[in-house]
Structure 1
């Protein structure tokens, strides 16, 4: 399995799939998951793109540096991957925490990207109290302590009942996430506020939201789209992991936008 070292000594696990000469698309995972969360999109994406997936630091098979993490460091990890793999330009799609990383990249490193897709995300999420309560729960009981509540926010009740195997697979990703990595990433989300800075983004941008998203509401997504000049907006009848809950709609919107 391939890994790439960052300038601060973190080993990032990544995967490259699709034709070697195709345009590169970077996929960035949500808090508490790993690169496998993009499985529903991969069959379609590898027909047209060289897809670079990676595990955010502290997640999946990437190494676990100590806290604190900040959104700028998460963005710099993406730039390290592009530099280390000799990729001068790419498209970027991130969901939730991955979308926050994409916002930072759009503001601070636009020369490396051609298009942004920001999914089920927000420029500011929750209060410090909410995040500190979650961090305390995970410190005490590991990620298992938050799995039931997280799953209820990530999927609609109907999807949980209709697709238990899919839901169990996502829950397993969350359970496998090291508590220290999860909490460090929670800290990055807690401390992030990009509500003003994203107005500077000039890249073609698509914002995707879920009507039933209890983590980053459709209103949050609409605010991001309204703040970024010229951004497109799509909303689907899903909760937080819209790429998993409505994969057909999600993939169609994604590929349509990337094709320009």
Structure 2
């Protein structure tokens, strides 16, 4: 796969779709990689030049020393856009990817056309949640990542979806088991420290907030908070847990496309 060389390593990406089409950036959740968006790619690339990438610490991208910050991850996106001569793009991020989208829309508004914030919040969790997870992963290494995979199924998918669609669930949770423990822990710290509750009002990009009605991590209430604080933002709720793009599938794809092409 192609990569852009940053100051401290390579950022892995895929750029697909018709040359000259408007650009859409897809940003993965904590513990997954760019393939979490595979189901969306056929429809998205009909109308967009789709740029998806492995966030630092994930997939085939660099694993630099942590902890990371969402600002650092946002600047990685800007460096990727600059390297590919992309002046402006729409951005769709899920969970941690949604935090990156918020940072970009707040701090680099001239680069963001439209914004889709999926299964995310202006602040996700607390140090009491994140610090034990960081410690466990750093101490336990690869085995801890495999344990996290098993524990994450119930957060990422509803029980009925996990039971009925193992062919969709298994590859996604498998990404977590393959994630670098050091990279995962460094990104946990970035999520832990991010808080955009006071800054949402400065977002000017047209925004769609996507929620899952069974999401135990970033609830619909978190989504409504963002909608209420971002001027003109829309909100849509699907029957899904945390990874609504996988669980809601085509419904997710169509609703996001309708917003992006409005």
Q: Structure 2-normalised TM-score?
A: 0.97
The reply on whether 1:245 has 2:247 as its aligned counterpart is yes
What is the deviation of 1:10? 2.7
1:11-40 alpha-carbon deviations (Å, 9 max, x no partner): 100000000110000000000000000011
Q: Unpaired segments of 5 or more residues in structure 2? A: none
The runs of at least 4 consecutive aligned structure 1 residues that moved more than 6 Å come to none
- The question of whether the paired residues in 1 share the 8 Å contact of 2:95 and 2:118 is answered with yes
How many residues align structurally?
A: 259
Aligned positions of 1:160-175 closer than 5 A: 160-175=162-177
Q: Structure 1 CA distance, aligned partners of 2:9 and 2:218?
A: 29
1:125-146 alpha-carbon deviations (Å, 9 max, x no partner): 1110110111122123331121
Aligned positions of 1:114-125 closer than 5 A: 114-125=113-124
The reply on whether 1:5 has 2:5 as its aligned counterpart is yes
Q: Structure 2 CA distance, aligned partners of 1:147 and 1:140?
A: 16
Q: Structure 2 CA distance, aligned partners of 1:192 and 1:158?
A: 32
The match for 1:197 is 199
Give the superposed CA RMSD: 0.8
Q: Structure 1 CA distance, aligned partners of 2:119 and 2:234?
A: 14
- The question of whether the paired residues in 1 share the 8 Å contact of 2:149 and 2:174 is answered with no
Q: Structure 2 CA distance, aligned partners of 1:81 and 1:114?
A: 16
The match for 1:84 is 83
Secondary structure in structure 1 of the residue aligned to 2:46: coil
Q: Unpaired segments of 5 or more residues in structure 1? A: none
- The question of whether the paired residues in 1 share the 8 Å contact of 2:148 and 2:177 is answered with no
Secondary structure in structure 1 of the residue aligned to 2:47: coil
- The question of whether the paired residues in 2 share the 8 Å contact of 1:138 and 1:145 is answered with no
1:100-149 alpha-carbon deviations (Å, 9 max, x no partner): 00000000001011100000000111110110111122123331121122
What is the deviation of 1:68? 1.5
Q: Structure 2 CA distance, aligned partners of 1:247 and 1:217?
A: 19
Q: Structure 1-normalised TM-score?
A: 0.98
1:219-249 alpha-carbon deviations (Å, 9 max, x no partner): 1111111111110100001000000001111
The match for 1:236 is 238
Q: Structure 2 CA distance, aligned partners of 1:251 and 1:165?
A: 19
The match for 1:140 is 139
